[in-house]
Amino acid sequence: MSSESMDINSKSSDSNGFYVKDVSSHDGESKWQHLKNSFKRAERDDKFDEQDLDGLERAIQKTSKTDLSQNLKKRQLQMIAIGGCVGLGLFIGVGPALTNGPASLLIAWGLVSTFLYCTMQSLAELAALFPISGSFSTYATRFVDPSWGFAVGWNYAIFWVVVLPLELVASSMTINFWQSDINSVAWVAIFYVLIIGLNLCGNKGFGEAEFIASLIKVLGIIGFNILAIVLICGGGQSGFIGAEYWHNPGAFAAGFKGVVSVLITATYSLAGTELVGLTAAETAGNPRIVLPSAIKQVFWRILLFYMITLTLVGFLVPYDSPDLLDGSSSSDASASPFVIAIKAGGITALPSIFNVIVLISLLSIGNSSVYGFSRTILSLAEQGLAPKCFDYVDRKGRPLVGILASAIVGLLSFVAASPKQTEVFAWLMALSGLSTLFTWFSVNLSHIRFRLAMKKQGRSLDELPYRALTGFWGSVYAAVLLFIVLCLQFWISLFPLGQSPNATTFFENYLGAVVVLVFLVSHKLYSRKLNTIVPLATMDLDTGRRETDIDKLKQELKEEKDIRDAHPIYRKIWNFLF
């Protein structure tokens, strides 16, 4: 057997002819030696001459292939898509939003859901075609403007690196629901070790943990919805409720401004949905099949987790409920309208069970934060937009320096012992508070410019392994709506609901936009080029494609379409939704 086949970095070809790392063999090493060697830098065998390439061309080449392990399974991606980032925004954040009235909830989440669906479809098209490192961060660089990619990428990285200490502190506070005698700092330490340990297990650890956590959240939401219907119909101690609270105290509490306020909350609650796009480069199997299928699960996430669930919550809890108002500053399950509804129904054991689901959700998002930051900063480093040390990927496919940096920032969670923790985290979140809006906008802008470049270069859409169901105009619609939401956020930050204008509130809510602008301008000044927008006529539409044989791809797509056309109507509906 040759030395190459015995190497720990040996590669095997998948069914599509794409090379994936095989790190399963110990090659006669002791377990300790194997463990130690696994932390060594992975060696690429696809090196290229950088001297004749400009900055954008180098970024495209470096992100087109990855040293990350391609181990994430289809079932893991589907659960990450449907329930991966469901957490505090839904279980707790809905409480303050509900004080603006149940109709405000449905209008705001319904509107946000429309442009989120368009955004995810655009991401599915790009990720199926270019399953590359960094996903939408890289798309912004190669399809829009390297300066824009720098600004959006760093803003997204800051968002995720700050989320870890936030979720750790919130998790420790959630334990207080049971009036634990153990100091909250001890819980922070336990959860910190757990999350960092999972990410050091590679994407297998991340994927399996997210699968289990998402499954628990899905079952918890389904169980609550069934219970809610029973309570509304009179199964609890409150008797028949029906639509009583929609009439008294009413459907709206603060009119248009209240709806706008909830619109912002709805956007933040859905943050992280795009994370599944970052898994493109680590997907086992064919991304053009696996990724679109997983991303289509967002439809069910929106329908089941938000629209149906929020409708039921609006029937069970009046917006002027004293428990809702008193718990608005709490971070455990006592502040959740879900728990308030369960208690009102006279059920004593379920609040504790629901608090477990809240805790799992928080830890799940903390786990996702390390994954999201380490992959984003890796992509930025590969593009030359972050320090080169962050492009270190070991033989197990782990971006070690990114994970280490996230772990170091995660130590801020021990500020939980400080009375200033609320102020500290408020300003940390303010740095990237608008990250979700800019990230989603960037996905749609990248898709718009990609499609325009296809048209400019005379390329056929038949070359695409997956076409966004919402098409080009879906991206335009989403981009326009996101810009409007950004403007409305400026208005609501300047003139907050029920408060007088003040600088502190404004910058806590809108500092993220200033940060993005500073990043954008700084990069242009550093590059000494004001116009770095990628020309449509010369935009690279091929590097990083998984399928390079266009004719073979077209034939496969035609055969798959013929098979789908032969299916009965119920199978066609199923395939469309799933």
* Structural domains counted in the chain: 1
The pLDDT tens digits of the residues spanning 120-148 come to 999 989 988 888 877 788 899 999 999 99
- Please report which confidence band the pLDDT of residue 19 belongs to, taking 50, 70 and 90 as the band edges: very low
Return the CATH number at 385.
Answer: 1.20.1740.10
Residue 539 confidence (pLDDT) = 92
Residue type, 494: L
Q: Considering just the CA atoms, what is the radius of gyration of the chain in Å?
A: 24
Residue 558 in domain: no
| pLDDT band, residue 20 (cuts 50/70/90) | very low
pLDDT value at position 441?
95
> Is residue 457 included in any domain, yes or no?
yes
Give me the pLDDT at residue 419, please.
67
Q: Highest-confidence range of 12-26, 61-75, 127-141, 424-438, by mean pLDDT?
A: 127-141
Residues 219-250 as b or e (16 or more Cβ within 10 Å = b): ebbeebbebbeebbeebbeeeebeeebbeeee
Per-residue confidence (pLDDT) for residue 17, from 0 to 100: 40
- pLDDT category at 508 given cuts 50, 70, 90 is confident
What pTM, to 2 d.p., does this model score? 0.87
| Residue at 511 is within a domain | yes
User: Half-sphere exposure (CA, 13 Å, Cβ side) for 12?
Assistant: 12
* pLDDT for res 171: 83
pLDDT at 13: 44
Alpha-carbon gap, residue 474 to 469, rounded angstroms:
8
In this predicted structure, what is the pLDDT of residue 22? Answer: 44
pLDDT band at 14 (very low <50, low <70, confident <90, very high): very low
Exposed e or buried b per residue across 353-371, where buried means at least 16 C-beta atoms within 10 angstroms of its C-beta: ebbebbbbbbbbbbbbbbb
pLDDT of residue 254: 80
The answer to whether residue 84 sits within a structural domain is: yes
pLDDT higher than threshold 50 for residue 296: yes
**For range 169-190, the mean pLDDT:** 81
The confidence score (pLDDT) of residue 326 equals: 62
Residue 437 included in any domain: yes
Average pLDDT of span 262-274: 82
Position 544 scores a pLDDT of: 82
Mean local confidence (pLDDT), 5-32: 49
Is residue 9 domain-resident? no
The string of pLDDT tens digits covering residues 417-474 is: 566 666 776 777 677 778 889 999 999 999 999 999 999 999 988 888 889 989 999 9
Query: How many Å apart are CA 425 and CA 534, to the nearest integer?
Result: 37
Mean pLDDT, rounded, for 333-356: 80
What band does 44 get if pLDDT is binned at 50, 70 and 90?
A: low
- Enumerate the β-bridge partners of residue 20: 12
Q: How far apart are CA 397 and CA 64, in angstroms?
A: 16
Q: Which carries the bigger pLDDT value, residue 42 or residue 24?
A: 42
Check residues 564 and 262 and name the one with the higher pLDDT. Answer: 262
- Is the pLDDT assigned to residue 45 strictly greater than 70? no
SS3 13: strand
The per-residue pLDDT for range 478-490, each reduced to its tens digit, is 999 999 999 988 9
Q: Which domain holds residue 237?
A: 77-547
Instruction: Tell me the HSE value of 253 on the side-chain side, using a 13 A CA sphere.
Output: 21
Task: Output the pLDDT for position 26.
Answer: 53
pLDDT (tens digit per residue) in 360-414: 988 998 999 999 999 999 999 988 889 999 989 888 888 999 999 999 999 988 8
Residue 576 lies in a domain: no
Taking the C-alpha atoms of residue 124 and residue 131, their distance in angstroms, rounded to an integer, is 10
Position 215, amino acid: L
* Confidence band for 157, pLDDT divided at 50, 70 and 90: very high
Is the residue at 337 inside a domain? yes
Instruction: Calculate mean pLDDT across residues 341-360.
Output: 84
- The CA distances from residue 186 to 175, 192, 361, 427, 569, in Å, are 11, 10, 19, 24, 56
Instruction: Work out the angle at residue 173's Cα, subtended by the Cα atoms of residues 253 and 319, and round it to the nearest 5 degrees.
Output: 10
Confidence band, pLDDT 50/70/90 cuts, at residue 229: very high
The per-residue pLDDT for 8 is: 37
Q: Say what the pLDDT of residue 394 is.
A: 87
Residue 13 has φ and ψ, to the nearest 5°, of -95, 135
Alpha-carbon distance 257 to 494, whole Å? 12
Residue 352: CB atoms within 10 A of its CB come to 12
Closest CA to 129 of 296, 16, 282, 292: 292
- Given a cut of 70, is residue 279 above it in pLDDT? yes
C-alpha distances (whole Å) from 322 to each of 98, 232, 257, 317, 502 are: 12, 20, 22, 10, 27
pLDDT higher than 60, residue 6: no
Average pLDDT estimate for 560-578:
75
Using the predicted structure, report yes or no on whether residue 209 has a pLDDT greater than 80. Answer: yes
Residue identified by tokens 């994430």 is: 72
The pLDDT confidence band at residue 49, using thresholds 50, 70 and 90, is low
What average pLDDT score do residues 543-558 get?
A: 77
Burial class of 46 by CB neighbour count within 10 A (0 to 12, 13 to 18, 19+): exposed
Q: What is the mean pLDDT of the chain?
A: 82
Q: Which of 58-67, 83-92, 369-378 has the lowest mean pLDDT?
A: 83-92
Structure tokens at 396: 């197990």
Identify the residue whose tokens are 């991606």: 77
Residue 163: what pLDDT?
A: 87
| Per-residue pLDDT at 249 exceeds 80 | yes
**Range 86-110 average pLDDT:** 83
Q: How many other β-carbons are positioned within 10 Å of the β-carbon of residue 6?
A: 11
